[in-house]
Amino acid sequence: MDTILVVNAGSSSVKFQVFAIEAGDLKRQIKGQMDGIGTTSRLRASDADGNAMVDRRFSRQEVSSVSAALQVAADWLREAHDIQPMAVGHRVVHGGPEHSRPTLINREVLGRLDRYVSLAPLHQPNNLAPIRALLDRFPQLPQVACFDTAFHRGHCAVADRYALPERFYAEGVRRYGFHGLSYEYISSLLPQVAPEIAGGRVIVAHLGSGASMCALSGGRSVDSTLGFTALDGLPMGTRAGQLDPGVVLYLLQEKRMSAAEVQSFLYGECGLKGLSGISNDMRELEASGDPRAAFAIEYFVYRVGLHAGMLAAALGGLDAFIFTAGIGENSARIRAQIAERIAWLGATLDPVANTSAKLKLSRDDSRVALYMVRTEEELMIARHTLALISSVGLPAPGRRSLAMPAPN
């Protein structure tokens, strides 16, 4: 059975899925992750029906890096289930100005993607680590990079430019937008699940630890709350979101922070964590009775409402608003509060549908339809990977072992 392995690597976890290729279609076989990398790691996986397949823990010495975590997962897939993929698809957050579509990986491409580490320091190094590990061990195994920036590359110039001299735009200083794989999946799904809005003016809110919103017109991205880096727009788990650049100057000049300290602060100490002083996890904030937690939630909801108005203006009106990702899919309370914030646009929530997590959350008389759609970024990556290796006529590399030697 031919399979595609999808890898989504973060700073302390590696998520993976295995998709079987059957009659040109993709079927999920395994969904798993290695988390706690660098501390006490845990390998968990389930089959297509959600049944547990493995739950094992590893010491810090056994799994000390993203590459080591990939090795453990690959060894388990090979030894326990004889999974030896014909190609591997990866989520890569930043594609820069060069990459507007999925790309077959080689050393040259990997070198170009290394240049964007400073623009996505939480993501890019970890996205590239498993690519590099597999490229070192299996240079003939096709690997495909799928970019979170690619879906937004069709924006008009006024949406993508900053009010800076032309030379900076030429260097790549522009508004890229992120979470594109999630938005692309939602856009591709709408004709089947909600055809009445698929061609209209839609805002999709990808609300999770990383959060952003995207304006879709006819299924295409026309603007986004994220820009040059993943620091813009909405407040997130540990990121501040939209910020006056003067604050950065203040931190550098008045607080005498180094550029590295400012980067670490803005990426890791702000957002919900900074506002609440409690947690970056919305679930913990919702469960807390601390007024600081309530304020962090209120701030998050307020900012979603503000950016909804901005994106509605970009679209020239609004037909639908879609919730997705961890918070958007799982928190009825946050959905209700956001719906109240955008009621002025014509959105009227159905409380019963909302608490039941239905697909359509709005009342029938709502002028703006409200939906909750579960995103599937890994499936989008698998589709891109299959399409690319098919289009370039790459043969299946045969039954290769993905076992890698333990790191030194």
Strand partners, 87: 4
Q: How far is residue 28's CA from residue 214's CA, in Å, rounded to a whole number?
A: 27
Catalytic, out of 35, 75, 148, 290: 148
Give the number of residues written for the chain: 408
Token pair, residue 51, equals: 């049944």
First-last CA distance in the chain: 34
Q: Is the dihedral of CA 228, 229, 230, 233 positive or negative?
A: negative
Active site residue 2: no
Q: At what angle do helices 107-114 and 124-137 cross, to 10 degrees?
A: 160
- The radius of gyration computed from the CA coordinates of the chain, to the nearest angstrom, equals 21
Q: Which of 304, 292, 132 is nearest to 205 (CA)?
A: 304
Q: What are the backbone dihedrals phi and psi of residue 368, each rounded to the nearest 5 degrees, phi first?
A: -110, 120
Contact between 202 and 319 (Cβ < 8 Å): yes
Strand partners, 215: 203, 223
Those residues whose C-beta lies under 8 Å from the C-beta of residue 172, and which sit 6 or more positions away, are 96, 97
Q: How far is residue 135's CA from residue 94's CA, in Å, rounded to a whole number?
A: 19
Q: Is the dihedral of CA 32, 76, 28, 10 positive or negative?
A: positive
Contact between 104 and 135 (Cβ < 8 Å): no
Contact between 282 and 247 (Cβ < 8 Å): no
Contact between 200 and 320 (Cβ < 8 Å): yes
Strands 3-9 and 13-22: antiparallel
Q: Is the dihedral of CA 35, 38, 41, 47 positive or negative?
A: positive
Token pair, residue 27, equals: 């079927």
The set of catalytic residues is: 148
